[in-house]
Amino acid sequence: MTPTLWRFGWRSLIRHPLLTGLSVLGIALGIAVVVAMDLASQSARRAFGLSAEAVSGRATHSIVGGPSGLDDGLYRHLRVELGIQSAAPVVEGFVRPAKSPGHTLRILGLDFLAERNLRARLGNGSVDVRTLITTPGAVLLAATTAAELRIEVGQSFPVLINGVERNLTLAGLIRASRAGALQAVDDLALMDIASAQEALGKLGRLDRIDLVAPGQDPQWIEGFRAALPPGVELIRASARSQSLDQLTRAFRLNLTALSLLALLVGVFLIYNTMTFSVVQRRELLGVLRALGVTRRQVFSLVLGEALVLAIAGTAFGMVGGIALGQGLLPLVTRTINDLYFVVTVRQLSLDGLTLAKGIALGLGATLAAALPPALESTRVAPNIVLQRSVVESRLRARLPQFGLLGGSFWLMALMLFALPSRDPLVAFAGLAAVLVGFALLSPAATYLLASGARPLLEKMLGLPGRIAARGVITSLSRTAIAVAALSIAVATTVGVSMMVDSFRATVSSWLESSLIADVYATVPGMASRLSDATIRPELVEKLRRAPGVQAVTSVRTTRALWKERPVDLVVADLSATSRHPYRFAEGRPEEIWPALERSDAVAVSEPFAFHHRVDVDQLMELTTDDGIRPFRIVGVYYDYGSDRGLVMMSRQTYQRHFRDRAITGLGFIAAPGYSVEKLLGELRAIAGGDQQLLFRSNRALRETSLEIFDRTFAITQVLRLLSVLVAFIGVLSALMALQLERGRELALMRALGLSPRELWKLMAYQTGLMGLFAGLLSLPLGLLLAHILVHAINKRSFGWTLRLSVEPTILFQAVAIAMLAALLAGIYPGWRMSRANPAAALRE
Amino acid sequence: MSRGAEPVVEARGVSKSYREAGAEHLVLSAVDLVVRPSEFVVLLGKSGSGKSTLLNLISGMDTPSSGEVWLAGKPLQTLSEEERTQLRRRYIGFVFQAFNLLPTLTVEENVLLPLELNGVFDRKSHEAARRLLERVGLAGRNHQYPDRLSGGEQQRVAVARALAHRPLLLLADEPTGNLDADTGRQVLDLLEELARETGRAVLVATHDREMVSRADRVLQLVQGRLVARPKLQAAR
């Protein structure tokens, strides 16, 4: 490459600054979305990892029990009789500061004397251990947390623990042992174990005992495990955080995939821009070749231009991505809190790997998109007699070939979807094949649409209508690319919107059928959805006897251990009313209910069966209070409340194996003639000030659930909006390029006597027509994408069976977006051409 | 003209045909041609007689259906596309009917391009380009873009560009086709003067018989065959 050739390339880019600017913006937005999403979810993951590490410390294993935890006598037994020194007891719980309801503190009750070096990362307190032990309700907080809650050292502050208000006292601050460690202890409240037991209502109980196994000796571990009493398990410390990390994998994967869709639209934009720049300069490239510029040099020239766009786009994209990531962080964190676990993320951590990935993706995707046009440019013969008409007629002759190739991509997609793989990545590969296939089929589709529309347009709009339709066909090499880029962009938004709508409709109808009681009572939960805070037994009894109550259903949600991992367990009473909400995907209800009632059996939710690859008739070995017991899976039921999945057990079965009798939720059915409002009033009056309970009517609960749903999909909606924006820019730049390229032709029309007004009209017809075509083509593709997202990707990521619901407004919106963008795209070139001196334009 | 010298270009039995709508269409049939250094050869022929095709074959931009073409002693038919391009950039200068200047490069940069393609990047190349532009009467217009120039001026830039890298052979395809008679004559005067001054061979394809008077030799393409015409006869 010579300096003058570089100059040629550079000036070709800056010749149409608006067009080049739009391409750069397209890449920048695509990259920004991907980087932002990655940074936000990595930050949440990192924050979670840091706090898990700080909480686990050097512990290699934890001893855990069933739903009611461990007896603290076990700890004494370990230390005194077994002589294990490197063990420390832990009591854990979540509380909410009464004055900052948005905040959740994680109480970690520790025996500071036993801690020694186990949790060095937690740092030291600014007060001595004696103060912590002797002051009732004394806690240590990180300075940042204390400042945020506006609590001074020595000050008392009220918190809600399981709905009961209690006072804690800030005894001192946690001093970070090293820089950056403060993030790990964010929202952690350290307490002496005895105070924590008292505050959390866990007198005499422990949540776990952490220990450092001597030398990781497997024999010692096996022997130790065997010596533990029944119902007590030894698990690896890393297993807990790993299983939580796996939980969010599908969520993270989907965010990444959606953001990659936005980038894909950006890539089409680049492909479009670069193809235009090659097609438009075909003659000039021919001249270069005649002057002795080699194919390789032409290739480098085109790719070099793309590289300039890539560098600029990626640079803006990285900066934008960091800013956007900061904005998305609360959304991602809230979704994780709603769906998975409590995590506090205050700041975006700028992960080097994510940034490097963003740069590689920006440069790589842009260059990959520019590759086909760059290769095309080397095929320009150094023969300047090659006419434009030849290019067009060649393309038309090759339409069947393109169609065939497109068809084979679709066949490949079908095969990918037919694969028995459960990996969502395979489904994403299928999705990509569908899009490429569509891009290859779209020239033929555009040709057919334009040919079909011609007579109609002529009848409706006269000569300009015919010229507009003919223009689409005669410039098919350009128009088809623009229409393809546009329809893919629009179809993406259609697909994502329909997926979210279908999801919402399914959840809404599921809520309708599963919420059968008139009033529900729970302990005001922490951020995470599946709260295991319990209602005081005496209060349960009082509420059961409330006037106006015809029937009561109760539920206990808790965790049980299965293969060293905690699984969510739902304990339900199996009255006829409680059975009503369940719909089974596998198994027959008339066999399931009796089995659940009488034998050691469980039913699992659809996502659970999917994630853990279990099915009806398989045995699950759960750790009960009497040791490990097998439970037969008798049914798989639909559930959209938890994406990690649930195990459901009848109360009878539960009580046979667990001593825990607690209840986490109650459902009341009003007696005939008793209004819901009146019943609510009665129940609230009975609960009084004892324990704060949340009473919600059926309707309110349904609304709240959908609110949470919408909140968890807020991030998806943001992504959808961003990809609409990228699509809009794509449409704008594709059509603008087309019209600018037609400068000479339009100047000729002006020279022949077309008024500026008529010229605008002509351009509006043509861009509007292409927008309409793109909008129409995006509909079947959008439906197909929605089908893939709902039935393949969601099913493979979360294991949910969803019903595809088609909202006609989304379809209208799609066509409207395409046409509006198309018409807007005609404005600038129209304005330019109508102001331009036709003679000067003809000379260009 | 040195008749004994090694030919700049030599075509032996060159034929070229295209398939069109299923039928074979013969454009050139067994053409023999020799152009020697410093020769000024005019190639006459009607539109569509195959003049441009012959120029494309000579420059290696196209390949013959049969026969051989030798450029600067090298057999084009045995060379790869890359090698033919290298040979073209070194030994051939092109002047087109439609000027074909690169619109995004200035006048001087257009002239510099062939020099740079041949690996000449130093300050001397700029001086050479400027001198050439002075020589074609465009001193002081170096930094203008081609669309600011008249047709005659643009073609003069094209002549300067074609000669900048001192090629052995200058190929001109209807160089006056887009110019009025006076301007065309001025451009041709310049082209002939510069070529003779520097001893370049010139092959001009045209249907303009006025050009015959300048030629050392006149050839004509008639129904795909190349025939030599005495200058007097050709002028008629």
Residue A385 forms contact with B (CB below 8 Å): yes
A694-727 burial: b if 16+ Cβ within 10 Å, else e? bbbbbeebbeebeebbeebbbbbebbbebbbbbb
Structure confidence by residue, pLDDT tens digits, A610-651: 888 899 999 999 989 888 899 999 999 998 877 778 999 999
Inter-chain touch B61–A382, beta carbons under 8 Å = yes
- Tens digit of each residue's pLDDT (9 = 90 or more) over A34-60: 888 888 878 877 777 777 777 777 778
Q: What are the CA-CA distances from residue A696 to residues A215, A500, A524, A700, A705 (Å)?
A: 53, 26, 11, 6, 11
Give the model's pLDDT for residue A385. Answer: 44
Digit-coded pLDDT (tens) for A376-405: 888 777 754 445 556 677 788 889 999 999
Return the pLDDT at A350: 79
Residue A182: predicted pLDDT:
59
User: For the sheet containing B9-20, what is the strand order?
Assistant: B23-35, B9-20, B66-71, B74-75
Count of A-B CB contacts under 8 Å:
84
Q: Quote the pLDDT of residue A384.
A: 46
Pair A664, A523: CB distance under 8 Å: yes
Q: Which two tokens stand for residue B215?
A: 């030629």
Query: What's the whole-number mean pLDDT along residues A297-311?
Result: 91
Contact indicator for A418, A791 with CB cutoff of 8 Å: no
B38 Rama class: left (phi>0) / alpha (psi -120 to 50) / beta: left
Instruction: Report the SS3 class of residue A74.
Output: helix
Contacts of A5 in chain B (CB under 8 A): 113, 116-117
Cα–Cα distance for residue pair B165/A293, rounded to 1 Å: 14
Across the range A239-248, mean pLDDT stands at 64
Q: By the 8 A CB rule, do A713 and A501 touch?
A: no
Give the per-residue pLDDT at A432. Answer: 85
Query: A750 versus A513: which is more confidently predicted?
Result: A513
- Residue A527, pLDDT > 60, answer no
Tokens of A115: 């801690």
What pLDDT shows up at residue A423?
A: 77
With vertex at residue A795, the alpha carbon angle to CA A792 and CA A801, rounded to the nearest 5 degrees, is 115
Identify the residue with better confidence: A107 or A82.
A107
pLDDT computed for residue A339 by the predictor: 67
Is A472 within 8 Å of A446 (Cβ atoms)?
Answer: yes
Instruction: Using alpha carbons only, give the angle A417, A421, A422 rounded to the nearest 5 degrees.
Output: 100
Provide the pLDDT confidence category of residue A531 given band limits of 50, 70 and 90: low
With beta carbons under 8 A apart, name residues in chain B contacting A843: 147
Least confident stretch, A707-716, A811-820, B217-226: A707-716
Q: For residue A620, what pLDDT is reported?
A: 94
pLDDT 10s digits, A475-501? 787 788 778 877 887 888 888 888 888
Strand B169-173 versus strand B201-206 pairing type: parallel
pLDDT at A180: 53
What would the two tokens of residue B11 be?
């075509």
Query: What is the model's pLDDT at position A515?
Result: 81
Higher pLDDT, A276 or A171: A171
Length of chain B: 236
* Whether A5 contacts chain B with CB within 8 A: yes
The β-bridge partners of B44 are: B206, B220
Task: Give yes or no for residue A13 having a pLDDT over 80.
Answer: yes
Q: How far is CA A823 from CA A447, A485, A725, A770, B19, in A?
A: 20, 16, 16, 9, 43
ipTM of this complex prediction, to 2 decimal places: 0.79
pLDDT higher for A510 or A601?
A: A601
Residue A121, pLDDT > 60, answer no
Task: Tell me how close the Cα of B56 comes to any Cα of chain A, in angstroms.
Answer: 7
Cβ contact A292:B89 at 8 Å: yes
Tally of helices (H runs) and strands (E runs) in chain B: 7, 10
Residue in the structure block whose two tokens are 């007579």: A455
Provide the 8-state DSSP code for A575. Answer: -
The overall average pLDDT reported for chain A is 82
How close is the nearest chain A Cα to the Cα of B233, in Å?
A: 31
Looking at residue A842, its pLDDT comes to: 58
- Residue A705 has a pLDDT of 80
The predicted structure's pLDDT at residue A280: 74
Distance of CA A491 to the CA centre of its chain: 19
The pLDDT of residue A528: 45
Using pLDDT thresholds of 50, 70 and 90, give the confidence band for residue A446: very high
pLDDT for the residue numbered A245: 66
Residue in A closest to B110 by C-alpha:
A4
Sheet of B225-229: strands edge to edge?
B92-95, B169-173, B201-206, B40-44, B217-222, B225-229
* % pLDDT > 70, chain A: 88
Domain limits of chain A?
1-58+238-382, 70-206, 524-692
Establish if A844 touches chain B: CB-CB under 8 angstroms.
Answer: yes
Q: Give the whole-angstrom CA distance, residue A614 versus residue A611.
A: 8
Q: How far is B84 from chain A (nearest CA, A)?
A: 9
Q: Measured between beta carbons, which residues in chain A are less than 8 angstroms from residue B61?
A: 289-290, 381-383
The answer to whether residue A381 neighbours chain B at the CB level (below 8 Å) is yes
Chain A residues within 8 A of B121 when measuring between CB atoms: 2-3
Confirm or reject contact between A117 and chain B (CB < 8 A): no
Q: Mind listing the pLDDT tens digit for each residue in B175-230?
A: 988 888 888 888 888 889 888 888 899 999 988 888 888 899 999 999 999 999 88
User: Do the chains contact at A290 and B94, CB–CB below 8 Å?
Assistant: yes
* Structural domains of chain B in order of their starting residue, each with its CATH number: 36-63+80-235 (3.40.50.300)
A181 and A123 in contact (C-beta within 8 Å)? Answer: yes
pLDDT greater at residue A383 or residue A768:
A768
Per-residue pLDDT, averaged over A181-198, amounts to 80
What integer pLDDT is reported at residue A314 of this predicted model?
Answer: 93
pLDDT bin (cut points 50, 70, 90) of residue A706 is confident
CA distance A54 to A182: 10
Predicted confidence at residue A241, as pLDDT, reads 64
User: Which pLDDT value is given to residue A627?
Assistant: 85
Q: Is the CB of A4 less than 8 angstroms away from the CB of B103? A: no
0.80 surpassed by pTM? no
Closest CA to A260 of A626, A793, A671: A793
- Average of pLDDT values for A125-131? 68
What's the mean pLDDT in A806-810? 87
Point out the least confidently predicted range of A475-479, A810-814, B40-44.
A475-479
**Which of A170-184, A264-278, A819-833 is least confident?**
A170-184
User: CB-based contacts of B114: which residues, under 8 Å, 6+ apart?
Assistant: A291, A292, B89, B93, B161, B162, B164, B165
Q: How does residue A682 score in pLDDT terms, banded at 50, 70 and 90?
A: confident
Whether the predicted pLDDT of A305 surpasses 50? yes
Residue with tokens 């090499």: A477
Chain A contact probe: residue of B90, B104, B118, B165 with most A CBs at under 10 A? B104
Rounded to an integer, the average pLDDT of A710-732 is 75
